[in-house]
Every structure is written in C-alpha cells, then in structure tokens.
Copies of this chain bind each other. A is one copy, B any other.
Amino acid sequence: MNKQKSTAILLMHCPDQPGIIAMVTNFINVNRGNIIYLDQHVDLEQNVFFMRIEWELQDFTIPRNKIKEYFETLYASKYQIYFRLYFNDYKPKMAIFVSKISHCIYDLLARYAMGEWNVNIPLIISNHPDLEPVAERFYIPFHLHPITKENKHEQEKAELTLLQEYEVDFIVLARYMQVITENMINKYPNRIINIHHSFLPAFVGAKPYHAAFERGVKLIGATSHYVTTDLDAGPIIEQDIARISHKDTVETLIHKGQDLEKIVLSRAVEKHIQRKILTYKNKTVVFN
C-alpha cells in the first residue's frame, strides 16, 4: 500500500510481435530502472499484446518528464504501441456521483477515510439532496444538481465545469440514477465507472432485481463497467454473484444485492486507481 519509492507505470498494447517484452524490459534495464511488476497478455485471436510494467525511478537515468517522449520516439511510433504512463506518487482525483441510495458511497468513503487507496475525492455530485449528510460526515464538498428533462443539458454543463475546476481524473457512479449523456462520456472515455445491479448482460436497464425475481434465477449478480454511449454495455471490469433461493422476495434480493454492489464497485475502483486496467474493443484486460 504505502510505497515509499517513486515508480513509473506503463500500460500498453500493440500488435503482437516477437521480442516486444525483451525490448521494453531492456529499455528499462539499460536505463537502470528496477522492474518491480510485469504482467502481460497476448490476445491470440486479435493478435494484440498487452502489458503492464512498473519500475522504480530512483536510479532511472531518463528524467521522469522525458520518459513519455523517449518511449514514444524510440518504440511507440515504430511498433504501433498505444500506451499510457503514470507515476505512483501522483494521486488521481475521483468524483463520485450519487442519487439517494448510500451503501456504495459509504463503502467508497470508508476506504477513502482509511487511506486504503491512493486517491483524492475532491467532490460529490448528486441530483438529490438526500446524501448531503453522508458527504458532510466525510468532509467532502457536496454539489447538488437536480436534474429534470428540461435542465439536463444545462446541469451536465455545470457539472463538467466543476469537474474541470477540481481537475477530476475519473468519475464513479455510485448508484447514480441518471443516464450520462454522450457529451460527458466523451470527455471521460473509459474513465467513468458504473455499478449495475445485475449480472450483465442479463437484466439490462431499470429494475433488474424485479426482473431477476420474475425470471426465478438462483443467483443474483452485480457488474461494474466503464460507461459508454450504449446503456449498460460498456467494457466489464468486475462481476460477482450471490446465491438466492425461492425464499427470497424482491426486497431481500435488493438487500442482499447491496453487499455485492458495493464490493464489486470498490474492486473496480481499486483496479482503476492502481492502473491495472487496459481497455480494448469494449473489453478489459485487468491485471492482478
């Protein structure tokens, strides 16, 4: 958790080709970076190579503000590498969107208060006033943007201004009961994490527990995913299920589902903060 040493994290994918691991590890080694994490994956069907590599910067001979440029020039442009570079000593800023239901936001904020994650939460945005007391308990600014059909466009614009002011890096929808519009999604591609209270792709849309009850399933699920313009159809990050039985009612499904939802959402947020997720064609690679 508390890494004292500064590290660089490289997330990349490119067309698979012989020697790619050797090339990248060599780049780091000869410049005296000490690799502390390497995980890679080859999608043999699509012929794509994915890698996450992390190394200590202490003795690294390339200045940190030049690494991106060097890697771009020396490798990325040549080998069609798509990559992102992060530093572990930068704390990403996360905004939380909520409505009225609080189990997910409590779970997120408890972890935040415990210092479990390398993240800052500068603000909470809501379309309802109900959870302002929760925000207050954790001393986080709460911004109320009630949304109607008429003002939706305008309110999202105000929200986007806020997100820019606070320099927000990514957004977590903690049971936020509004559809995000294309405009906002495009500003935060693969950076808006949602929790859907079903085992997607089963029970897309509203009232999934009612639908699960109607169908008589024996397991309920929860799914965290990146938001895309297709409703509940973005890249899945994490899923889990709980066993139910004929004794359950819609009410007990909703109740049992809450623990699923909060854990599945928090696992996704953690992986995102740890820079362990790569997306490719509506699917995710989630490193351990």
Write the residues of chain A forming the contact surface with B, with a CB cutoff of 8 angstroms: 1, 18-19, 21-22, 25-26, 29, 34-36, 38, 40-45, 50, 102-103, 106-107, 110, 113-114, 116, 134, 137-138, 199-203, 215-219, 221, 235-241, 243, 245-247, 249, 251, 255, 259, 263, 266, 282-286, 288
Task: State the majority secondary structure of interface residues on A.
Answer: mixed
| B41/A40 in contact, CB under 8 A | no
Given contacts A22-B25, A40-B38, contact A106 B113 (CB under 8 A): yes
Max chain B Cβ within 10 angstroms of own Cβ: one of A40, A246, A251, A282: A246
In the complex, the chain B residue whose C-beta lies closest to that of A106 is B110
Q: Measured between alpha carbons, how far is A251 from B245 in the docked complex, in Å?
A: 23
Considering the complex of A and B, which 9 residue pairs feature the smallest CB-CB distances, nearest first? Answer: A216-B283, A106-B110, A202-B202, A246-B285, A22-B25, A218-B239, A137-B137, A19-B29, A22-B22
Q: Measured between alpha carbons, how far is A288 from B255 in the docked complex, in Å?
A: 14
| A216/B284 in contact, CB under 8 A | yes
